[in-house]
């Protein structure tokens, strides 16, 4: 049974940083696409960042325009954990953040398409105050 567990959320002031973690059990991140999504109250879930680790240790990443240059996605295959480093946080980054993973394979062209992902965590809340 696949289980994804997020941690690292919290409350920070604008300009601050947080690092989210997503630990997987029953699943291997290596050679499979995974991503971070977020959902603010009253808004649709949106893709934030995704990552795919190819052969030879090459990592491919993709970011939403709204977080480029501020967020960094990474993964540690030895710990089966994916991270989202969030810097220069803004109030509009306030949301519940979810990690998600595909059952097998690449992200293809659907890096930030929630429909591409098969497994989801329970979410961790991020609140940024001005």
pLDDT digits (tens, 9 = 90+) for 41-64: 999 999 999 999 877 778 899 999
Instruction: Please give the structure tokens belonging to residue 47.
Output: 């893709």
pLDDT for residue 117: 94
The residues facing 1 across adjacent strands are none
Residues of the chain falling short of pLDDT 70: none
Instruction: Please give the structure tokens belonging to residue 3.
Output: 């289980």
Tell me how far apart the terminal alpha carbons of the chain are, to the nearest angstrom: 40
pLDDT for residue 50: 97
pLDDT for residue 37: 98
CA-wise closest residue to 123 among 98, 105, 101: 98
Instruction: Please give the structure tokens belonging to residue 52.
Output: 């795919």
CA-wise closest residue to 74 among 95, 93, 99, 96: 99
């Amino acid at each position: 049974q696949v289980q994804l567990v997020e941690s690292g959320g919290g409350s920070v002031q604008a300009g601050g940083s947080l690092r989210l973690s997503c630990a997987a059990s029953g699943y291997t991140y290596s050679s499979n696409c995974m991503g971070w999504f977020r959902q603010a109250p009253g808004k649709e879930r949106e893709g934030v960042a995704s990552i795919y680790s190819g052969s030879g240790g090459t990592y491919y990443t993709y970011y939403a325009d709204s977080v480029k240059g501020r967020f960094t996605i990474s993964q540690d295959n030895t710990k089966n954990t994916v991270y989202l480093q969030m810097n220069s946080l803004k109030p509009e980054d306030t949301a519940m953040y979810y990690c998600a993973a595909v059952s097998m394979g690449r992200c293809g062209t659907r890096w930030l398409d929630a429909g591409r992902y098969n497994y989801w965590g329970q979410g961790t809340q991020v609140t940024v105050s001005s």
